[in-house]
Amino acid sequence: MSPISQENTDVSAAIDAELQLMDPAVRASRSLAARLLDPEYVEVGASGRRWTYEEMLAALPDLDGGSGSGEGDGDGPRFEPSGMGGVVLAPGIVHLTYETDFGGRRARRSSLWRRRDGETGWRMYYHQATPVPTAAE
């Protein structure tokens, strides 16, 4: 596979994994979410709160975009992503950027995904969300 084809494959795989993390059924399942988050995961949320791997896995079912009930019914509001794209920063590291709308609240998002040697799946290593003011474009 050519280097460009591999980069496209890696970016596509990271995008697929990012979209899985927005799925209420995945957010409600600790085991499904754990497969997508790196054990060294850190997030700085739109609220400014810093989250660790364990904190996120514990809270994810009840956070915005999940079912809200902790039962994974998927009936709650969902994140609507747009403009998602990515670049390979180094072998095994993909940087994604995009925006989300969640009930009229917009955020610009940035995620780092990594795949360690010997692993087949991509895991989110870092995520940051920055709120977009209502009047901003």
| 119 Rama class: left (phi>0) / alpha (psi -120 to 50) / beta | beta
What is the rounded CA–CA span in Å between residue 10 and residue 44?
A: 24
Q: What is the pLDDT of residues 51-83, one digit of tens each?
A: 999 999 999 988 866 544 434 444 556 789 999
Look at 31 and 69; give whichever has higher pLDDT.
31
User: Does residue 110 have a pLDDT over 80?
Assistant: yes
Give the global pTM. Answer: 0.85
C-alpha dist (Å) from residue 123 to 2, 13, 71, 103, 109: 23, 10, 24, 27, 16
Confidence band, pLDDT 50/70/90 cuts, at residue 34: very high
22, 15 in Cβ contact below 8 A? Answer: no
Higher pLDDT: 94 or 3? It is 94
